[in-house]
Amino acid sequence: GQQLNQSPQSMFIQEGEDVSMNCTSSSIFNTWLWYKQDPGEGPVLLIALYKAGELTSNGRLTAQFGTTRKDSFLNISASIPSDVGIYFCAGPENTGNQFYFGTGTSLTVIP
Amino acid sequence: SAVISQKPSRDICQRGTSLTIQCQVDSQVTMMFWYRQQPGQSLTLIATANQGSEATYESGFVIDKFPISRPNLTFSTLTVSNMSPEDSSIYLCSVRMENTIYFGEGSWLTVV
């Protein structure tokens, strides 16, 4: 199956700092999705991207659809303790019927 | 978006038993999926639940171990059969709507 690699694997940051993470695929995608998962819960959709170069914001979160269509980036500005969790990227396989998920980035925010 | 409810949310199961997880969606959807997330891991697709026909399983997953029902466009079940400790995972129901995937809150199974 498709391999989606996320970087970094984990981050430990001070409250108030900005966060950047990225996701790369081995093939071209026409959709990128970013999710956050709290412990013991299902993933919650943060941002959906549908066009190369697209830059979309959701509050303090901003995600970009890379121009090569093989990568995407998620930034969080002025982090707060409730940003703690695991962030996953996802993209569709060829038929678009199902989605592959990245390896995840674990974020810890130190108050 | 969709509101997806899963039951049970958590359970502790005995080795060798089977458990059925239910997934209810608040609207009719064509595509429903079941994912597994083992501790500390990413999400792995088990199968696509097809309404009115057999589920389509991914490599490494078989119907005998993970039978799936999809009696209508708002409901599906996943059974984890003959459980072993390796089956301890979060099992997630999801639906596809408008080129986006939405998830239920998950069913956390611990097999002892």
- B45 contact residues in A (CB cutoff 8 A): 98-100
> Which of B31, B59, B104 has the CB atom closest to A42's CB atom?
B104
Token code pair at residue A75: 């930034």
Residues in CB range of A94: below 8 A, 6 or more apart? none
Instruction: Please determine, for residue A2, whether its predicted confidence score (pLDDT) is greater than 70.
Output: no
CA of residue A48 relative to chain centroid, distance: 10
Instruction: Please determine, for residue A40, whether its predicted confidence score (pLDDT) is greater than 90.
Output: no
pLDDT band at residue A99 under the 50/70/90 scheme: confident
State the smallest CA–CA distance between residue A93 and chain B in angstroms: 12
Instruction: Please determine, for residue A96, whether its predicted confidence score (pLDDT) is greater than 70.
Output: no
Tens digit of each residue's pLDDT (9 = 90 or more) over B21-47: 999 999 999 889 999 999 989 999 999
Residue B60: per-residue pLDDT: 94
Instruction: Please determine, for residue A1, whether its predicted confidence score (pLDDT) is greater than 60.
Output: no
The secondary structure of residue B87, as a DSSP letter, is G
Tens digit of each residue's pLDDT (9 = 90 or more) over B58-69: 999 999 999 999
pLDDT band at residue B52 under the 50/70/90 scheme: confident
- Of B93, B80, B110, the C-alpha closest to B20 is B80
Q: Is the dihedral of CA A28, A100, A36, A9 positive or negative?
A: negative
Which residue, among A41, A44, A100, A105, would best test binding to B if mutated, counting the most B CBs under 10 Å from its CB? A41
Please name the helix (run of DSSP H) or strand (run of DSSP E) that holds residue B88, with its range, or none: none
> Which of B42, B48, B106 has the CB atom closest to A101's CB atom?
B42
Report d(CA B106, CA A38) in Å as an integer: 11
**More confident call, A89 vs B54:** A89
Tally C-beta pairs within 8 A across A and B: 54
> Which of A45, A102, A103 has the CB atom closest to B102's CB atom?
A45
- For A2, nearest residue in chain B (alpha carbons): B44
List the beta strands (DSSP E) in chain B. 4-7, 10-13, 19-25, 31-37, 44-49, 56-57, 68-72, 75-80, 89-97, 100-103, 107-111
Whether A52 has its CB under 8 Å from any CB of chain B: the answer is no
* Residue B84 contacts residue B111 (beta carbons within 8 Å): yes
- A40 contact residues in B (CB cutoff 8 A): 10, 90, 106, 108
